[in-house]
Amino acid sequence: MKVLRYVIFWMALCLTFSQGYRILGVFAFQGKSHFIMFEALMKSLAKKGHQIDAITSFHLKKPLVNITELVVIPSQMKLVNNISYDQMRLILTGLPVRTVATLGGNEVCENLRLPEIQKLIHEPSKNPPYDVILMEIFGANCFAVLGHVLNIPIIGVSSSALYPWHNHLIGNPENLAILPNNLLNFINQMNFWQRTYNVLNTIFNKKYFNHLTGYQDEQIKKYVGPNLPSVRELEKSISLILVNSYFPLNGIRPITQAHIEVGGLHVQDDNSKLPPELEKWLDESKDGFIYFSFGSMIKIESFPIHILHIFYKSFGKISPVKVLMKIPNPEELPPGLPKNVRISPWLPQLKILKHRNLKAFITHGGLMGTQEAISCGVPMIGIPLFADQFINIDNYVKKNIAVKLDYENLSEDDMDAALNAILYNSTYRETARLIGQKFLDRPLNPIDTANFWIEYIVKYGKDALRSPAMDLNWWQIELLDVYAFLLLVTIVTIYITTRLILMLLNVFSSNANAKVSRAKKMK
């Protein structure tokens, strides 16, 4: 019987591997929070029997047999745990669209020159050939040229909801009357002026992104070859986009079949163990603890000393409730840390968020971390710093699962009030648990959803989910030509009707005058 089980196991294993596809993963942007989702996707696909060759900016934490790090792009700047308060303020002075188009776009496209990528372009592997490309959808759409060169479908992966310049890639409908773009924090029903601003802001961002990233045409010609389609043409060859969103958090919206929601895909327990000392501290926090992290880039210790002192004083007041803080460089913290606060340069976030003694999460509002907290039913105190963090936290405040603070105008009273609300108002925790249940409750979990649609495109071709809107101009999609025609018909009809009425009136008037004239003559 034992031998039979082994035989069945190996047969099943061989069958799994024989059905796997060869996938090229292109995740070249140096954003650690983005890569968390992409790494989870690649590892999950590898476990399902697919072979992944990866072009990334980060080494995998735990490499798997089915994943080959084809290229690990050398870092141009250290972003992980290295952005100070002053650098963050500098980032805020620029437009998000410019940052995405340049830092996350044109600069990333320069990696097309790397020898390993050049070899992939000019000497592609054919034993076996690639079946599909998974590519980050952010700013570097130049990498869509790989799909053209290898003649295989491209599947986009977005670590956030789609930006204004992404929807047209798959013909995704935009209803700007009810849906603000995700660079704006309009979370309630928009009034007239907000709708107007939403339209103008969306048009500006699209035009400006296309203007800035038009440079990628030159990069494609320089590093890949002449006579290739433009980046605007190449990006429209994307078959579908796996989007890190899901309607319980992001709201109801019209989407095309090529917009696949896989929000929370990265929320996967790797079955690792907590460090014994940390586990002991968490278990012994019988009065509960708060977890505090500003993600994978921001250095909390670099914040102005008056803000850090507000944290210190407010945290000391909630003792015996403890606070666990992720601090990349603990030696840079000013003295005076309360005794109920524990600090560490690295913490296993998902394990901590799942701990039974956790009361709340203080966060900058990054999408990955807040999705993890929501999945675990944990309420939040949000202190947004930049990008989509503001709309994320505003959305969570509206759903009654978070309290928002403004770091620029933070006072000790504000911090005290937020801590007391999140700790002692049970509404936040109850609502967070309910929203977490809704977020997790779906017909297929995110990774299985992603796997199904990836295989669907490989089996049925790159145009299997292509929207008819892709073949229309924007004015045709908006039915402006139809409205113009109907308006013209209406105007012509009114004009002809008016002319006929006037003619008839003239005829009647002439007849009446003639009768009057005849009557006068008869007299």
pLDDT tens figures, 88-106? 777 666 788 999 999 999 9
* Residue 383, beta-bridge partner list: none
**pLDDT recorded at residue 372:** 96
Please report the DSSP string for 471-490 in residue order: GS-HHHHTTHHHHHHHHHHH
**pLDDT recorded at residue 77:** 62
**pLDDT band (50, 70, 90) for residue 311:** very high
How far apart (Å, rounded) are the C-alpha atoms in residues 261 and 245? 5
How far apart (Å, rounded) are the C-alpha atoms in residues 346 and 357? 19
Query: Does residue 10 register a pLDDT over 50?
Result: no
Q: 251 in helix, strand or coil?
A: coil
50: phi then psi, degrees, rounded to nearest 5 = -85, 150
Q: For residue 424, what is the enclosing H or E element? A: helix 412-424
Q: Are the C-beta atoms of residues 216 and 142 closer than 8 Å to each other?
A: yes
Pair of tokens at residue 461: 């071709």
The dihedral through the CA atoms of 278, 283, 289, 291 has a sign that is positive
Range 214-226 average pLDDT: 96
Question: Which one is predicted more confidently, 163 or 85?
Answer: 163
Lowest mean pLDDT among 178-192, 198-212, 283-297: 178-192
Query: Does residue 15 register a pLDDT over 70?
Result: no
CB atoms within 10 A of CB 186: 17
Question: Percent of the chain, pLDDT > 90?
Answer: 75
Burial classification of residue 83, based on how many CB atoms lie within 10 Å of its CB (0-12 exposed, 13-18 middle, 19 or more buried): buried
SS (H, E, C) 125-145: CECCECCEEEEECCCCHHHHH
How far apart (Å, rounded) are the C-alpha atoms in residues 2 and 376? 39
**pLDDT recorded at residue 38:** 96
Closest CA to 296 of 90, 37, 28, 62: 37
